[in-house]
Amino acid sequence: METPQEALPADDDSQSTPPAPPINGKAVGLRDVARLANVSVATVSMVLNSNPRISRPTQLRVQKVIDRMGYQPTAWRNRWQASTRACWL
C-alpha cells in the first residue's frame, strides 16, 4: 500500500503517468490535493488561481499532484463563479 509520500509524482518529467483513480470512488477534491502536496487547501486554491504570492517550487509541487490525481473543478462551482461574475458586470 502506498503512503502519501510515495503517492507524489516523481520529479522526472520524462515519464508520463496516468492520473490516479478517484479516492474511494469519490472525485478528487482540494483537500486530497493539499494533503498529498503537504500544503493547505488555501495554497492549492491560490495555485489554481495563479496567485503570485505562492513560490515557484510550491506551485510546481502542487501542480504535479493535481496532474497526477486528475483533479477537475466541479461543474456547479464553474457555473456559480460565472453567474457571480455576471452579477457584478
Q: Is residue 4 part of a domain?
A: no
Domains in the chain, number: 1
Given this model, what pLDDT does residue 73 score?
A: 77
Q: Is residue 18 part of a domain?
A: no
CATH number of residue 70's parent domain: 1.10.260.40
Identify the domain containing residue 28 by its residue range.
24-88
Interval 32-86: pLDDT, tens:
999 999 999 999 999 999 999 999 999 999 999 999 988 887 765 556 566 665 5
Amino acid type, 75: A
Interval 9-26: pLDDT, tens:
455 544 555 555 556 667
Given this model, what pLDDT does residue 61 score?
A: 96
Residue 22 and residue 16: Cα distance in Å, rounded? 18
Q: Is residue 17 part of a domain?
A: no
